[in-house]
Structure 1
Amino acid sequence: MSDRVSNTSDFLLQLDALKLVNRRTYISGGERLENSAEHSWHLAMACWAFAELFEEEYDLSSLLKLALLHDLGEIGAGDTFLYSANRDNAHVEERKYVEKIAAHAGNPIHNMLALWDEQEVGGSKEAKLLKIVDRLLPFLHNINSEGRAWIDNGIHKDQVLKMHQFIEAESPEIYRWFRSKVDYAVKKGWLDAS
């Protein structure tokens, strides 16, 4: 029994490394950049909140598991900025790390890799909500910090619209809110109008 607990303890310490992966999003108040573990927690809470708000029949257990696993691959691959040129291939390196951690002797979560794949490419309504909320949170942080990460990285309105366009088909209500906030950010000078 003590070997199992020791192995699982080591597995948990491996997961703790997600706290060391910094993102380009500022936490509320703009004092520092958030790390991927903070984002994963916030993502899980936000998914839960939106699932309750929309009053649809989401499998909440599945949704929360997908959210908690979502950024796990960043331990090995690092965070890929949303507007990065190599964004389309980020999942390849991330999956390699998820394969590695899923194979850890102390991992008791037997379907970890399948769940990670579901959140990455799945078509379930839980995976779709996760993708929307994952894009929404950094956007919300940018609105809250007066566009600080956008300004730091020279991001333009057309880039933001392009990376969030898929939301329109999935959730028109969220997309309408998003578009109003984009216009507001441009008006305030937080987001370049081009």
Structure 2
Amino acid sequence: MQAIVDFILELDRLKGVTRKTRPLGLDRQENSAEHSWQIAMLAASLQPYAAQPVDIHRVIGMLLVHDIGEIETGDTIVYAEEGWEERKAAELAAVTRIFGLLPEAQGARFLALWQEFEDGETAEARFAHAADRAMPVLLNLANNGQSWRENGISHERVVKRIGPPIREGCPALWVYLEAQLEHARQQGWFGA
């Protein structure tokens, strides 16, 4: 029991990892714990639109563990273009340590979910990636492009980075977002 309590209290640190997007109606950045919860709910809501049938319990599990490494590495905006290999190696070291707090079988199960998400090869991982990429876009659309404008992110950069994984994991969501992104471009909600 103490190992599980230690693990859960370690996860509380994810609430202190700030991201670039603001929650609706709030004058602060969201944190990675809020992001993980929200994309798990997004995936559960979008399940009928997945490109292929998915085990939603595995998808939700992936989404709940996918950013745990940020406890040690911090968050990097999805539109960053360099340093991903180093960052992913640091995240692997972090999740290995954090999941290692649990009894071995439980830790191994969470690490396998994390790795499945990272590999992006299963239908569940592709659907999870679609939800992960979509949520910051949905918040930006609702916030008149707040994070895009503040960080100088262009329409082209957004479409290039998020389009392929969303189209692959949840094509109907991409059809919806593509039209919304074009409207946002016309409104001037992107950075230069």
Whether TM-score is above 0.5 comes out as: yes
Q: State the match for 1:150 in structure 2.
A: 148
TM-fit CA distance, 1:63:
1.1
Residue 92 in structure 1 maps to residue 83 in structure 2: no
- Distance, in Å, in 2 between the alignment partners of 1:55 and 1:154 is 32
Higher relative contact order (CA 8 A, sep 6+): 2
* Residues 53 and 123, structure 2, Cα contact 8 Å, conserved in 1: no
2:190 match: secondary structure: coil
Structure 1 residues 168 and 12: alpha-carbon distance in aligned structure 2, compared to 1, 3 A threshold: closer
Aligned partner of 1:131 among 129, 132, 140: 129
Deviation track 1:35-73 (CA, whole Å, cap 9, x = no partner) reads 000000001111111114559632121111111111111
**SS of the residue 1:80 aligns to:** coil
Paired residue type of 1:186: R
Q: What TM-score, normalized by structure 1, do the two folds share?
A: 0.89
Residues 59-92 of structure 1 deviation map (CA, whole Å, 9 limit, x = unaligned): 1211111111111111111101112233532322
Task: Select the structure that is richer in strand.
Answer: 1
Matched, 1:33 2:32: no
How many aligned residue pairs are there? 189
Measured after TM superposition, the shift of residue 165 of structure 1 is: 2.7
Q: Which amino acid aligns with 2:44?
A: W
Specify every segment of 5 or more residues in structure 1 that has no aligned partner in the other structure, as ranges.
none
Deviation at 1:132, TM superposition (A): 0.7
Q: How much identity, in percent, do the aligned residues show?
A: 33
Distance 1:39 1:58 in 2: 21
- Show the counterpart of 2:113: 115
Code of the residue aligned with 1:68 in structure 2: it is L
Q: Could you tell me which residue of structure 2 aligns to residue 79 of structure 1?
A: 75
TM-score calculated relative to the size of structure 2 = 0.90
**Runs of 4+ with >6 A deviation:** none
